[in-house]
Structure 1
Amino acid sequence: MPLHPEIAKALAALPAPPPGPLDPVAMRAAEEVHLPPVGPELFAVEDRTAGEVPVRVYTPSAAERHGTLVYLHGGAFFLGSVNTHDHVARSLAAATGLQVVSVGYRLAPEHPHPAGLDDCTAVVRWAAARPDWDGRTLAVAGDSSGGTYAAAVAARARDAVTHQVLYYPSLDLDFDTDRWPSRRENAVGYGLETAGLKPFNAFFLDGGADPADPEVSPLRRADLTGLPPALVVTAAHDPLRDEGEAYGERLRAAGVPTVVSRYEGAGHGFVQHFSHLPEYARVFAETAAFLAGEDS
């Protein structure tokens, strides 16, 4: 299936990137100016701190206790915020009925690895200790580099995490083009391009993150037994497609209940940028069904 026509139209309208090296500060500022529309209205949305980590808590109803989903935004470890992904967190809370905790973890290059991962782990521990957690569901979810962190946190805190949801995750940070067929197949023209993987992740890797470390490249983890059940969502036209699907297959082989769901016509980032399209809005219903233990 070709790229969805609305996605293709949006990509064609994007301006050419400015010349010269990437500027994290300028790119973050541009993101904060061009925020997506606000998502569904909820019972309460509150900015708080989990220890020293800023979080935004999305409460879907007036119930005294809720299950929890800790959400980790994407952005190649140096972009993204609770603001840029506010609509995703809102949609997850509305669809799942869970209280969503969106994490404002520390970003590269100002905060080298493992600062961001430590923040995400700390928030999961904080969520598990909250008196309004229902004691049943404590899921961790993330998109792209947030999916990297979600997979790593699911391993770090497997005693607390009940489910992991990975949206087009980056799981192998060795960016050799020939490591995965999808890096060749989807190299150009679909938004995220294979040639951009190294420069966009350089802020993270140059700060000491080792691609051979399973907390940096979760696909490198030798033993996946005992990890929480997983939903792995991939996009057909994404250079990262094959590593996500390979991780799902390895989880299954290790006895971890796993759903691997490929979205046709989609490219990397569709949950953040194109989930308003009916074909892709169902990702939230699929997530809700998975977390509820239903067939998606």
Structure 2
Amino acid sequence: MAALKALSYPDIDIKKSYKIERQLKSLPKLKVPSPYYTSWDHQVFAGDHQVPVRIFTPRTVGRHRVLVFFHGGGWVTGNIDSYDRVCRDMCQLTNCIVVSVDYRLAPEYPFPAGLEDCYQVTREIFLDDSLFDTSPDEIVLVGDSAGGNLAAAVSLLARDRREFLPRRQILIYPATYPTHGAGSPFASTRENGQDYLLTSKRVDDYLQLYAGRPGDFQNPYFAPLLCGDLSRQPDTLIITAEYDPLRDEGEAYGQKLSQFGARVRTERIPDALHGFFSLPLGFAMVKDCYRIIGEFLSDTGAL
């Protein structure tokens, strides 16, 4: 606990230090060739710019599902390089194609820029089944933390724009609510809001950097739990961490989806902190997470 408290840095202002955090997460990492997958980089046209993606394909023979993955990092940090190992592990353990999306980051590109990038990449995959020889039933949205927020928001946008409709989504400790201070209704923001690496203050700092204007905090695409109508949403797996300030809002989102008729499975990983999904595969909580993901993906009754 003493070590966790020391690492939680309660006084650091992420609004001033996010560029340093970006640089640390973007340090070059050793890439080792694998017999389990191949990977390559691609660009998706999105209006006046291109969205980089990195594609990981299993070397196994046959058809594969596609996992469209949106990384975490508070909408402000992280990229396809910093999540390269996570996506390699995901490809290997799920035997799925993984498309990692390098969406634009705030505050240089505030809401909804990153969300629109995620939507455009997902739209291309859904509307052109020749890209990966898949059907819509075989495409799953996946995201962790801020990426879980983006996956949920893409599903809402897809329903409202009526261009495609995801059948499944996996939200790993997603951010779904716009405030985590005194105005938060969730006990986890108070119980786990300090001393567990991710603090409630830091979440709110990230949200303020992500927002383009004050009105965004009431926008359901910014904070999906605020959406008054969660009908026609995908079958959903929500995974939360026991010692995470975002725990309760993620679980509340699952409950609200269920109220509107979605099939939802919610799993809380014991003893886990926010961000555990990025740990190496040797950690028991990561193994548990992939076991649950595998059961969700193989559940034919979920469609």
Matched residues in 2 for 1:277 and 1:243: separation?
25
Q: How many Å apart are 1:264 and its aligned residue?
A: 0.7
**Equivalent residue for 1:31?**
25
If the length of structure 1 is used for normalisation, what is the TM-score? 0.88
Matched residues in 1 for 2:9 and 2:234: separation?
41
Matched residues in 2 for 1:275 and 1:214: separation?
34
Alpha carbons 2:5, 2:194 under 8 Å: kept: no
CA deviations over 1:15-63 (Å, ceiling 9, x no partner) = 9589665233222111112759879753311111122210000101254
AA aligned to 2:119 is T
Q: How many Å apart are 1:235 and its aligned residue?
A: 0.5
**Equivalent residue for 2:133?**
133
**Equivalent residue for 2:112?**
114
AA aligned to 1:271 is F
Q: How many Å apart are 1:133 and its aligned residue?
A: 3.1
CA deviations over 1:43-91 (Å, ceiling 9, x no partner) = 3111111222100001012546432110000011110111111122122
Greater shift, 40-49 or 217-226, is seen at 40-49
- Given the alignment, which residue of 171, 175, 178 partners 1:173? 178
- Cα 1:185–1:26, aligned 2, differ >3 Å: closer, same or farther? same
Greater shift, 166-175 or 275-284, is seen at 275-284
Greater shift, 242-251 or 191-200, is seen at 191-200
- Cα 1:209–1:93, aligned 2, differ >3 Å: closer, same or farther? farther
Alpha carbons 2:177, 2:226 under 8 Å: kept: yes
What does 1:212-223 correspond to in 2, within 5 Å?
212-223=218-229
**Equivalent residue for 1:4?**
none
What does 1:200-239 correspond to in 2, within 5 Å?
200-206=206-212, 210-239=216-245
- Given the alignment, which residue of 95, 116, 123 partners 1:97? 95
SS in 2 for 1:210: helix
What does 1:7-26 correspond to in 2, within 5 Å?
11=4, 14=7, 21-26=15-20
Q: Percent identity?
A: 33
Matched residues in 2 for 1:213 and 1:262: separation?
27
Instruction: Return 5+ residue gaps in structure 2 as ranges.
Output: none
Alpha carbons 2:71, 2:143 under 8 Å: kept: yes
- Given the alignment, which residue of 78, 81, 84 partners 2:79? 81
Matched residues in 2 for 1:112 and 1:66: separation?
34
Greater shift, 92-101 or 273-282, is seen at 273-282
- Cα 1:78–1:226, aligned 2, differ >3 Å: closer, same or farther? same
- Given the alignment, which residue of 175, 186, 196 partners 2:192? 186
SS in 2 for 1:58: strand
SS in 2 for 1:134: coil
SS in 2 for 1:227: coil
Q: How many Å apart are 1:200 and its aligned residue?
A: 2.6
**Equivalent residue for 2:205?**
199
Alpha carbons 2:170, 2:236 under 8 Å: kept: yes
Greater shift, 58-67 or 33-42, is seen at 33-42
Alpha carbons 1:109, 1:207 under 8 Å: kept: no
AA aligned to 2:107 is P
Matched residues in 2 for 1:15 and 1:228: separation?
35
SS in 2 for 1:45: strand
CA deviations over 1:234-259 (Å, ceiling 9, x no partner) = 01101111101111111112111100
- Cα 1:295–1:194, aligned 2, differ >3 Å: closer, same or farther? farther
Q: How many Å apart are 1:286 and its aligned residue?
A: 1.4
